[in-house]
Amino acid sequence: MGSDRKRDFANETLAARRRRAASVLEILRRTYPDARCELNWSTPLELAVAAILSAQCTDKRVNEVTPPLFKKYRTAADWAAVPLPVLETEIRSTGFFRNKAKNIHALTAILAEEYGGRLPDDFDTLTQLPGIGRKTANLLVATVFGKPGLVVDTHFIRLTGRLGFSDETDPVKIEFAMREIVPEKDWTAWSHAMVFHGRRCCFARKPECARCPISAHCRFYATPPKKKLQS
């Protein structure tokens, strides 16, 4: 463990970061073989709606709210037709419900009117739609359309910093930094691994470093205790 803690993260080359990232992903794949998107959905539209609802809300809460909604609203036209006050009431428990309802309304109206009720599978097109930023677009292309995607959520951001891969705080800058470190074919697997590990071990307030399977590759673990408390 001592030699692991002495790793020189500050002077690590890009090639070394790529090798370390590969080791991290290999370990996390073994640790979480079922890592996946934990939002429940059965159609691309359902995942888009669930992703909008998940902003500043847990997947668990979203999964509790969406089942009756998905039974009631099956098409983009269904979602677009529901009165906004009704939708606000139905999603209130997910937080920020007014803005979320507005985005769902706007998104589904455009899908119904311009895309035949279907989600486009192109990343750039998705990011132009209401309520769909880069994170959600990456989630959709990776989860629904089987294309590589780096889904930079709060867990991804936290772990990227703790592992010492990027000190950026802006999600877009982090995404592009990790594009240089993680091979494109592994982007989706990396994203799911970060979320699973962030939810099950590398917690925001009290990361459980003593049982962490990737502590040997982690800058946060290598720092002295006093600095850890400040992270």
DSSP annotation string for 127-158: TTSTT--HHHHHHHHHHTS--------HHHHH
3-class state of residue 6 by DSSP: coil
Q: What is the band of 6 on the pLDDT scale with cuts at 50, 70, 90?
A: low
Q: Quote the pLDDT of residue 223.
A: 78
Domains delineated in the chain: 2-31+150-230 (1.10.1670.10), 44-143 (1.10.340.30)
Q: Active-site residue numbers?
A: 135, 153
Q: What is the band of 10 on the pLDDT scale with cuts at 50, 70, 90?
A: confident
CA 204 remoteness from chain centre: 15
What does the pLDDT average to over 57-75?
Answer: 97
What does the pLDDT average to over 216-231?
Answer: 70
Q: Quote the pLDDT of residue 228.
A: 47
Q: Quote the pLDDT of residue 125.
A: 97
Which residue has 């590969």 as its token pair?
A: 22
The H or E element containing residue 114 is helix 97-114
pTM to 2 decimals?
Answer: 0.89
What does the pLDDT average to over 14-29?
Answer: 97
Q: Is the pLDDT of residue 150 over 80?
A: yes
